[in-house]
Structure 1
Amino acid sequence: MALIDASARIMEAPPTGDDMAFNHGILCQVGLPRSKVNGTSFLRRSGDAWVHVQAGLLDEGSGPVEQPVPYGAMPRLALAWLSTYAVRHKTPEIHIGESAAEFLRLMGKDAQGARYKTLRTQMHALAACRLQMGFKGRTYSAQPVSQFDAWINDQESDQRPLWPGTLCLSADFYNILMESPVPLDNRALDALSGSALALDIYCWLAHRLHRIEGRPVTLHWRSIREQFAQEYQGKDADKDFKKRFLPALHNVLMVYPDAKVKQVTGGLLLMPSPPPVPYKG
């Protein structure tokens, strides 16, 4: 129902004001892992672009604690929200509220117990991770967060968990972001927030389709799987991935109605399309 409502709103009017969101260009091509990583690092490639995420340490009040590699929908939504704030206000220092509940509200989410716990885990993982990106011979060391005060829960008192209030993006991540942020429709992100795969497809199409010039581009299932889900292996890897990908793509096209994408024998046909946020002027 939320997807249908969002689709109707998006078709009725272009995004304005708080509907406008932004994301990092390279992260629109190669995203974070969608499921829990066995180990301490993750590598994803897409054509000339790649991203490598390495788990890090975070001081949670009594010394360093190993964090997992960030994964799933929450760090994607958090990074998009942080990037949007940074682009709008032209600052790497971001106000994230006085509590986790307030941060969730700022992100447009309610503070359910499970979501609250996921936010804590994934924000700590995101703040601690080391991130490298590469594109056409150039490598960027772009750890997203340069300073973060851990979310500490004082078990010996009735005080609410300590929350940092502000977060600072690293200079490298911020500078690359500001060079060419990718405009997105926040209504679409919200409607797709339950699926990391759908969020990745939406960001990818938003970044890719309006850049196609001339003839449409055909992508085969193997190359699409290598970009989105190297974890699918074995004899029927492409078939298994296709079963997951197509329903997610269907949902994405509901909230990106101008996207011209067609399923063809062996893959997808991408045609030149307007971006989800119209060009200025």
Structure 2
Amino acid sequence: MAFTHTVLCQVGLPRSKVEGREFLRQSGATWINIQAGVLDEGHGPVLQPIPYGVMPRLALAWVSTFAMRNDTPVIPLGDSAAEFLRLMGMDDQGARYTTLRRQMHALAACRLQMGYKGRNVPNMSPIRQFDAWVSNKDEHQRALWPGTMTLSTEYFSELKDSAVPLDNRALLALKGSALALDIYCWLAHRLHRIQGRGVTLYWTNLREQFAQEYRGKDPDKDFKKEFLPALKKVMAVYPQAKVKPVTGGVLLLGSPPPIPYKGGPGV
């Protein structure tokens, strides 16, 4: 069993690099706003990008899962970057270190705001403390790895109240696609709440939720080409999900969650 925050199941982080210093995404009454921050990497302040892609999604799911299982905001990251990569189910190829370092710094430095159903959480950056992974010619050097991360009080409290249970095996199987991870988390949160004849969502609605960055001549068609293959991957790891492509969009039908709810907050 793994966990992630309910808002991140509805509106995810950017999937590709954001050129600006701010990112806003909204779906219905739920939204997130991310502002890039600054982190001291050992030689003074360094502007960080907005976190994006697979790595921060898996990292947040992993630390959120540890926090929920152990009821603690202090997260051990292993003795090295290689060990943390393995904990997240990723190989420790050289390129992974650069991506991990960049995205963990971006995640630690960013300011994250969330809102849902009229409730505003003005500054709920997930990470309160993360010692920078200092640049060095030998990035595998053990002494440079921070070792622990501390979640912010606000994020930890919100997580305990509204975490969504996920199947960790599904996350590992989908680790090659940020869009597939987003779709899986969304369906895990949404499907078991649906009753009756289901809900039809059209491509415009789905694009507004998942891919507002599509701005071409036919953005809905372009998004559909990306969404359907990703959905197929999700259905392979979440076979209980009842999702049917229909004319103009997809039909969502009530389905069991990937992890049965047993009562209590978030579980």
Q: Common fold, TM-score beyond 0.5?
A: yes
2:181 corresponds in structure 1 to: 199
Q: Taking structure 1 as reference, are residues 97 and 157 closer, same or farther at Cα in structure 2, changes over 3 Å only?
A: closer
1:4-153 correspondence runs (5 A): 20-140=1-121, 141-153=123-135
> Are 1:226 and 2:208 matched, yes or no?
yes
**Residues 108, 130 of structure 2: 8 Å contact kept:** yes
Of 221, 241, 252, 1:239 maps to 221
Cα separation, partners in 2 of 1:159 and 1:226, compared to 1, 3 Å: closer
Distance in 2 (CA, whole Å) between partners of 1:253 and 1:78 is 23
Q: CA deviation at 1:207?
A: 0.3
C-alpha separation in 2, matches of 1:157 and 1:227: 37
Following superposition, the deviation at residue 109 of structure 1 comes to 1.8
The amino acid across from 2:5 in the alignment is H
d(CA) in 2 for partners of 1:54, 1:173: 16
In the TM superposition, residue 280 of structure 1 has moved relative to its aligned partner by 2.8
Matches within 5 A, 1:170-181: 170-181=152-163
The correspondence for 2:167, drawn from 185, 199, 223, is 185
Alignment of 1:157-172 (within 5 A): 160=142, 162-172=144-154
RMSD of the TM alignment (CA)? 1.6
Rounded Cα–Cα distance in structure 2 between residues aligned with 1:278 and 1:159: 42
Residue 106 (structure 1) shift: 1.6
Q: Report Cα offsets for 1:140-180 as digits up to 9, x if no partner.
A: 12101001100013449995451111100001111111102
Change (3 A) 1:155 1:246: closer
Native 8 Å contact 1:209 1:259 kept in 2: yes
Alpha carbons of structure 1 residues 157 and 47: separation in structure 2 relative to 1, 3 Å: closer
Return 5+ residue gaps in structure 1 as ranges. Answer: 1-19
Matches of 1:212 and 1:120, distance apart in 2: 39
Provide the secondary structure at the position in 2 that maps to 1:164.
Answer: coil
Moved segments of 4+, more than 6 Å: none
**CA distance in 2 between partners of 1:157 and 1:151 (Å):** 9
CA-to-aligned-CA distance 1:15-59 (integer Å, 9 cap, x gap):
xxxxx1111110000000000001111111111100011100001
Q: Is the 8 A contact 2:21 2:50 kept in 1?
A: yes
Contact 2:80–2:140, Cα closer than 8 Å, also in 1: no
Deviations for 1:90-125, whole angstroms, at most 9, x for unmatched residues? 010000012111111221222110111110110000
Alignment length, in residue pairs? 262
1: CA distance, partners of 2:202 / 2:139 = 57
Corresponding position: 1:257 with 2:230 = no
**Cα drift, residue 214 of structure 1:** 2.4
1:270 corresponds to which of 252, 261, 265: 252
